[in-house]
Amino acid sequence: METFMIILSGILFTIATYLILNKNFLRIVLGITLFSHATHMMLMAINGLKRGAAPLLGEHADAYTDPIPQALILTSIVISFALTALLLVLGYRTYIELGTDNMKKLRGESHE
Amino acid sequence: MSNLLIYPIIIPLLMAMVLVFIRDRIKLQQWLTVLSLLATIGFSLFTVYFVSTEQILVLELGGWSAPFGIVLVGDMLAVVLVAVASFVTLMCLLYGFQSIDTGHKKHFVYPMILILLTGVNGSFLTGDIFNLFVFFEVMLISSYVLIALGGRKIQLRESMKYVIINIIASTLFVIATAYLYAATGTLNLAHLSERIALAGQDGLLTAISFLYLTVFGLKSGLLLFFWLPGSYSAPPPPIAALFAALLTKVGVYTIIRTFTLLFYHKPEITHTVMLWMAALTMILGALGAVSHWEIKKILSYNVIISVGFILFGVAVGTEQSLSGSFYYLIHDMLSKALIFITGGAIINIFGTDKLKEFSGLILFRPLLGWLFFIGMLALAGVPPLSGFIGKVMVLKGAIAADELAVSIIGLITSLMVLYSILKIFIHSFWGETLMSEGQEYSTGKHALLPGTILVVCIVAMGLGAEWVNTYVAQATEVMVNPNLYIEAVLKQ
């Protein structure tokens, strides 16, 4: 299962990289979102999927699942959600002000 | 006593929350900001005093003991940087009170600056690598807002690139941390250091260390600095000064921390790569600084050069060069703030940042000219100012470790720093006076008070090098001997 998830997150990384290298702004945002999803999946899989009982519920299991990767993912999801929202707002304002969502036209110099 | 460590984080954060509710009362906001910054500086100076006389402070948040919970660790390196960062923020704000426009002030610029400081101080103090990521994000999110606030075309354009590159770097940070957790099973810096030392730094850990070097290189502008000159020239001068003085320095601090505490076992691989990255950074930064003709671009490239120089000392990695790097880091925070504040005043006066449209400012702004001149000498490393001693220490350490080639690069680039800033000085202060008093866009007077205070600090740091060095030596002791850090945190 872990191997399968790692391969899946590898595929997601590939797609994300392709999207980020695009010129269109919305595709870059989608790429960044996929990039962070792939990271979270990898973070989950790399530290081992369900290896024992849920922690904190009783003390009699032989082994417990490590809760830390999930805590990390939760924190990271919240942060990437906030960043995506900010990025979309920023992109919308940029589109309104500069009239383009093509990153190549946002290179500078010509606007100054 | 260990509660001292939380104040530099919690005071700016709480005050920022209060300020959000009194958005329209600008005067009151300014007073409260100054008050909270003075309190932060007071507490952090007392912490420096306490750490220098007693021991490394450790605060276990929530009462969870060290490897399990998150800890704040105040060793000399961290607490000195916290004090300097809070002080520099106050100086930039003293300049900003007059020169930031009302639109900014009504749209939460002060709360954002305070949250930025929260993130910076938190990154310095935390003893947990994932918590470091969180504080980094706190700092970066407020910097995204600060860089875009105002919504001018150039700001929007540059903030897009800045935000995208930093989000990707942050995601790489999470990836690196995931690898590190999978390899070692812990996130606490002291515990990590202990485990890496026990297991030996094998190929996997070295690969992870390179991932960290990439991430922190992106944040600090070590070789991967292509985003920096554009985005640092977009925001208004006081905010650019704050960015130049604080943001890249946090990246530099994290490189110092991770490569002296965690990944110090294979210096022939990691530190050699870092050395050449630093050398390239200095060369490319110097070429950029020399070739541009806008104040903001020249000064931004100077930020890059100094990052290269500090990390050159870290890469050499002997006790002397590390203490030189730390000394130069403190100096650079102060003098970058000074040169950006005075440079910002010049831009405000002329209403443009093109060098060729400047002339003859010395006649009616002599004090500003002298402040800029002293800042320039300090950056270039002329004795008796603070830059000189840092450079001497780094170069002495490097020559003792037989790194002659890069030392020569360091010396040549400091000449190019002098040339690039001298270019600004000559064009703006010398020559025929084209405008008369009252014709300029701004008086530039509000840069004089923070500028003078910073110049006094820089001169004092140069003349009182012996005194500063007692603190620097204490910080270096922990860098050279990570066991001191581990023992303080894990209390064996």
pLDDT tens by residue, B337-358: 999 999 999 888 888 888 887 7
User: Measured between alpha carbons, how far apart are the two ends of chain B, in Å?
Assistant: 20
Chain B residue numbers with beta carbons less than 8 Å from the beta carbon of A86 are 141, 144-145, 163
- Helical axes B386-400 vs B295-316, angle rounded to 10°: 40
pLDDT of residue B438: 62
Listing DSSP states for B202-213 in one string gives: -HHHHHHHHHHH
Residues with Cβ within 8 Å of residue B393, at least 6 apart in sequence: B313, B320, B321, B323, B324, B327, B328
pLDDT of residue B84: 96
What is the extent of the structural domain holding A80?
2-50+66-101
pLDDT tens digit at each of 112 positions of chain A: 888 999 999 999 999 999 999 999 999 999 999 999 999 999 988 877 777 777 777 777 778 888 888 899 999 999 999 999 999 999 999 999 888 888 888 776 644 4
- Answer yes or no: is pLDDT of B402 > 70: yes
Q: Which residue of B has its CA nearest to A78?
A: B134
Q: Give the number of other CB atoms < 10 A from CB of residue A105.
A: 14
Q: State whether B171 and A86 contact (CB < 8 Å).
A: no
Chains A, B: CB pairs < 8 Å: 88
Residue A98 has its nearest CB partner, among B130, B153, B168, at: B153
- Are B110 and B30 in contact by the 8 Å Cβ rule? The answer is yes
In a domain, A58, yes or no: no
* Sign of CA pseudo-dihedral B70, B71, B72, B76: negative
What's the average model confidence in pLDDT over B201-226?
Answer: 93
pLDDT of residue B455: 94
Q: Write out residues 9-48 of A within 8 Å (CB-CB) of B.
A: 20, 25, 28, 32, 35-36, 39, 42-43, 46-47
What's the average model confidence in pLDDT over B123-150?
Answer: 93
What's the average model confidence in pLDDT over B24-34?
Answer: 92
3-state secondary structure of B139: helix
Q: State whether B157 and A108 contact (CB < 8 Å).
A: yes
Q: State whether A47 and B182 contact (CB < 8 Å).
A: yes
Q: State whether B151 and A79 contact (CB < 8 Å).
A: no
User: Measured between alpha carbons, how far apart are the two ends of chain A, in Å?
Assistant: 54
Q: State whether B168 and A32 contact (CB < 8 Å).
A: yes
Looking at chain B, the whole-number percentage of residues with pLDDT higher than 70 is 98
What's the average model confidence in pLDDT over B66-70?
Answer: 85
Residue A75 has its nearest CB partner, among B134, B158, B179, at: B134
What's the average model confidence in pLDDT over B54-82?
Answer: 90
Q: Which residue of B has its CA nearest to A93?
A: B156
Q: Which residues pair with A64 in a beta bridge?
A: A53
If one counts the domains in chain A, the total is: 1
Chain A residue numbers with beta carbons less than 8 Å from the beta carbon of B178 are 39, 42-43, 46-47, 69, 72
pLDDT of residue B476: 93
Partner B contacted by A78 (CB < 8 A): no
* Sign of CA pseudo-dihedral B60, B61, B64, B66: negative
- Residue A54 is given by DSSP the state P
How confident is the model over B430-474, as pLDDT tens digits?
A: 887 776 666 666 777 888 999 999 999 999 999 998 999 999 999
Residue B141 has its nearest CB partner, among A32, A82, A93, at: A82
In whole angstroms, give the CA distance from residue B221 to residue B285. Answer: 10
Q: State whether B178 and A42 contact (CB < 8 Å).
A: yes
Residue A111 has its nearest CB partner, among B153, B160, B182, at: B153
In a domain, A80, yes or no: yes
In whole angstroms, give the CA distance from residue B111 to residue B113. Answer: 6
Q: Tell me which amino acid residue B184 is.
A: T
Q: State whether B178 and A68 contact (CB < 8 Å).
A: no
Q: State whether A46 and B178 contact (CB < 8 Å).
A: yes
pLDDT of residue B66: 79
In a domain, A38, yes or no: yes
Residue B175 has its nearest CB partner, among A42, A79, A103, at: A42
- B211 CA to chain A: closest CA distance, Å? 14
Q: Which residue of A has its CA nearest to B156?
A: A94
In a domain, A96, yes or no: yes
Partner B contacted by A82 (CB < 8 A): yes
pLDDT of residue B147: 92
The CATH number assigned to the domain holding A13 equals: 1.10.287
Question: Rounded mean pLDDT of chain B?
Answer: 91
Q: State whether B160 and A106 contact (CB < 8 Å).
A: yes
- Are B394 and B410 in contact by the 8 Å Cβ rule? The answer is yes
How confident is the model over B237-250, as pLDDT tens digits?
A: 999 999 999 999 99
Q: Give the residue from B319, B349, B250 showing the smallest Cα distance to B472.
A: B319
In a domain, A9, yes or no: yes
- Answer yes or no: is pLDDT of B105 > 90: no
Chain A residue numbers with beta carbons less than 8 Å from the beta carbon of B177 are 72
Chain A residue numbers with beta carbons less than 8 Å from the beta carbon of B179 are 46
Residue A72 has its nearest CB partner, among B130, B156, B171, at: B130
